[in-house]
Structure 1
């Protein structure tokens, strides 16, 4: 018998958020990975509430040993007019359940400092799964120019590659939350894998799946059934669909098992102004352009193009129903 392969160390950068809660629970029930920390960011809710929700979810999971570091309250350019998606996730970010205040507290380090600290502690071994705007990662890159080389991989839930956005036709929510930060991260030279809504919109948890979760005795299944109502209603109204998109769990599972998706490689830039602010544009690097441009000599990243959707849904269901 050989030794079991070492578990992949993962930090989840998160703005919980209903599908963030699903992703965190799936992560905690994934034997392939070890969640070494959560960092928080605005997006579905403001950062302060994201921290509270992260602590609450770890308490529900009986994993208060996992540190939570609070992230930025403003964008990388100090913008404080933040887009908060409470109409998708409820005012409390977790389906308006008004859970009690968590007992745990955040660590003293900021999210950016925590990310740098762990990248130094375990060089090349940390995967960051970024489920919200990319401000914390951009700050880490600005604070430590070596960070892109020390971090193992960054899996980004973000972008809309060759499809319309979900905030407006041009932009996907996480990138739109801080386009300047996203452009810094995409061009940083880190090992990056972007999972956009062109892929996550293929991964749907149906009414039938919800019914199956409702019949499970497992703690996580019971909890997510409580919070999913608001999320299902939103999808019904916005997309006329009987189900919800599994954005965050898909990105998390891409970090757990990259073979669930297929990828293409090229350069990604983010539009930071005008009516297409937040647009992610992919250059397949096949053409040599005559003129100098803003794309030349930028590092390539991986962008997901297909997903084994039934396998992803099955894994999410199995891990939520694990007793």
Structure 2
């Protein structure tokens, strides 16, 4: 009785959030960021809305449903969202590349992604889910939740902005009814020799994939916008040492990451955005600037644009807290501790039944 009361109390005192995510899996930054929220006490995840980005939507939905089964949180609803960007198409983008140059990473359109139909769900390495996606679509779920809990719901957007833009288009009060918007996206001036950014410092996939949606989102009247950029994300890595630590921790979350991580060393893009919402003290430097995305169909299409009060044009934009640096040792410790804890509210997690590698 006491543990049940404790969890109910946690839910009463919790912060409300909707996870809007492209969800390639298993493991990887998309799925691991969901675990950051799922492992955190005092966080009430109202639902997970999924859209095409890093991969195709329907396969991503399946990875999300399966993650919830493996950690025992099948009570959280999953909604399918946008399959394609509002305007940009794959064929048009390939034609654009003939004039302006290759884009190294294109998410679901990337040549290295497994080839299958847009609505096809192949056999998943973690096992295909038995639970089902909600009948409600992502945009209407987002709108319904901010009306149900006005000024209390954080929208966490760690994929392209299409679902959020659709909600704004359907309900002009959607953004102002939310508590805040947290974005993983955008790039200003990353200090790196990573070939994806060294010659294109304002290019970042999440905002680039659907520039029109990104611009709609930044022009909406949010009470607060926080943006985790490439600049700060590249200060993080899921190291081999971290994966080894997780292997020795007997919780479904830690075992999921350890079991399915095939490429240690990747940046902790979305995990950082999620963790910094839980503990803003992880961020050591930020800029408070106006942010938008270029809709010029030339070489800058989809690039991040920022202005200060001194040079901002006459556009209706909200200032955003743009994260630039992180306390990396503190973040590492925070992440490992979070994955070491029991999953709040879990029921019948299936991770223990997964075959050993």
TM-score if structure 2 supplies the norm length? 0.78
Using the TM superposition, give the Cα deviation of residue 88 of structure 1 relative to its aligned residue in structure 2, in angstroms: 11
Query: For 1:299 and 1:250, how far apart are their aligned partners in 2?
Result: 23
Cα distance change, pair 162–192 in 1 and its aligned pair in 2 (3 A): same
* Aligned twin of 1:267: 290
Tell me, yes or no, if structure 1 residue 301 matches structure 2 residue 324: no
1:248 to 267, 270, 273: 270
Tell me, yes or no, if structure 1 residue 200 matches structure 2 residue 207: no
Residue 11 of structure 1 aligns to a residue whose secondary structure is: strand
Cα distance change, pair 80–39 in 1 and its aligned pair in 2 (3 A): farther
Tell me, yes or no, if structure 1 residue 178 matches structure 2 residue 210: yes
Residue 205 of structure 1 aligns to a residue whose secondary structure is: coil
Residue 324 of structure 2 aligns to a residue whose secondary structure is: strand
The answer (yes or no) to whether the contact 1:44–1:89 under 8 Å persists in 2 is no
Residue 109 of structure 1 aligns to a residue whose secondary structure is: coil
Correspondence 1:63-142 to 2 at 5 A: 63-77=73-87, 79=89, 83-84=106-107, 91=114, 98-142=125-169
Spell out, residue by residue over 1:194-249, the C-alpha distance to the aligned partner (whole angstroms, 9 max, x if none): 111101111222111111112222222121122211x33xxxxxxxxxx2211111
* Aligned twin of 1:321: 340
Corresponding pairs, count: 302
TM-score if structure 1 supplies the norm length? 0.86
Cα distance change, pair 146–252 in 1 and its aligned pair in 2 (3 A): same
* Aligned twin of 2:102: none
Spell out, residue by residue over 1:124-161, the C-alpha distance to the aligned partner (whole angstroms, 9 max, x if none): 10001111000000000000001111011110000012
Using the TM superposition, give the Cα deviation of residue 43 of structure 1 relative to its aligned residue in structure 2, in angstroms: 1.3
Query: For 1:219 and 1:137, how far apart are their aligned partners in 2?
Result: 31
The answer (yes or no) to whether the contact 2:56–2:108 under 8 Å persists in 1 is no
Cα distance change, pair 21–266 in 1 and its aligned pair in 2 (3 A): same
Q: Which runs of 4+ in 1 moved over 3 A?
A: 78-83, 85-92, 164-168
* Aligned twin of 1:13: 20
Residue 238 of structure 2 aligns to a residue whose secondary structure is: strand
Using the TM superposition, give the Cα deviation of residue 251 of structure 1 relative to its aligned residue in structure 2, in angstroms: 0.6
1:311 to 327, 330, 343: 330
* Aligned twin of 1:147: 174
Query: For 1:207 and 1:88, how far apart are their aligned partners in 2?
Result: 27
Structure 2: unaligned runs, 5 residues or longer: 1-8, 94-105, 116-122, 343-357
User: In terms of Rg, which structure is larger?
Assistant: 2
Structure 1: unaligned runs, 5 residues or longer: 233-242
Spell out, residue by residue over 1:167-214, the C-alpha distance to the aligned partner (whole angstroms, 9 max, x if none): 772411111111111111111121211111101111222111111112
Cα distance change, pair 30–86 in 1 and its aligned pair in 2 (3 A): farther
* Aligned twin of 1:27: 37
* Aligned twin of 1:218: 251
Mean CA deviation greater in 126-135 or 260-269: 260-269
The answer (yes or no) to whether the contact 2:218–2:317 under 8 Å persists in 1 is no
* Aligned twin of 1:237: none
Residue 266 of structure 2 aligns to a residue whose secondary structure is: strand
